[in-house]
Structure 1
């Protein structure tokens, strides 16, 4: 009798905890634009790879020169656009130079997949871009796509 009473108390306590979980569920993790990126990849017949961070990239030409590290300064020609193909920024073919540590995480990681002369596409979820905040013509939460050519590792 004593043990069945303790078992009854334990069951009641567990059911109270279950009700608490239903009333205050753990929030779901923030969406990382995965569905939008995968749709874009499928619609455009891209052979993209996914990194552990959630960055997708397409190496069209790997290049033959030096390969940058996160601490490198590079010169990159690029075109940036959204999944609806609306361009928000673009360099000329000479590109722009910058330290990889001073750009969005998607670029810092993505440019390292190429060697000098390499080109391809970076598909960057918002958490590796500008996150939930708008930045100039880029609305918060946007997937960013860049056609890039790594002109040089300086």
Structure 2
């Protein structure tokens, strides 16, 4: 009888300790973004959006965005979060995607370009957003392969499916 009581008292402690060990062994080396686009990049992107009558909200970082669906829940993504998203990325001046995922893929937010680090936390799971990203918060002066030339303004339409 004493063994059963002792087991009932010790088992929850062991479970809590095991949970704490696994969560405390997880480390995240990413920091919240601090980069800000230059005034020239911001003005150029804003002029394009205005001249094409694109609805947007300006972010202090220099990205522009339009939230289509806010999403719901209490979980807000941070740079250490794993986010599952559907997305389509294109250059500002074309409608042809350079990358897309229509089934859902998972990334750690801290591994992504600065524009995503600023934009994704603006919505909750189930939400969708369009990000207009100036070059310095995208792929910058180096671009990315042949699909994204240096100093490109980018547009990403993103649906946030899940945050872990």
TM-score tier (shorter): 0.7 to 0.9
Unaligned 5+ residue runs, structure 1?
1-28
How many aligned positions are there? Answer: 125
Partner of 1:143: 153
Give how far 1:37 is off. 1.9
In 1, are the aligned partners of 2:61 and 2:118 still within 8 Å (CA)?
A: no
Give how far 1:35 is off. 4.0
In 1, are the aligned partners of 2:91 and 2:97 still within 8 Å (CA)?
A: yes
Structure 1 residue corresponding to 2:115, chosen from 83, 103, 106: 106
DSSP 3-state at the match of 2:140: coil
Larger radius of gyration: 1
Q: How far apart in 2 are the matches of 1:53 and 1:30?
A: 9
Structure 2 residue corresponding to 1:90, chosen from 89, 100, 114: 100
Distance 1:96 1:43, change over 3 A: farther
Show the 5 A alignment for 1:1-154: 32-65=40-73, 66-85=75-94, 86-92=96-102, 94-136=103-145, 137-154=147-164
In 1, are the aligned partners of 2:55 and 2:66 still within 8 Å (CA)?
A: yes
Q: How far apart in 1 are the matches of 2:138 and 2:40?
A: 11
Deviations along 1:5-29, whole A, 9 cap, x unmatched? xxxxxxxxxxxxxxxxxxxxxxxx9
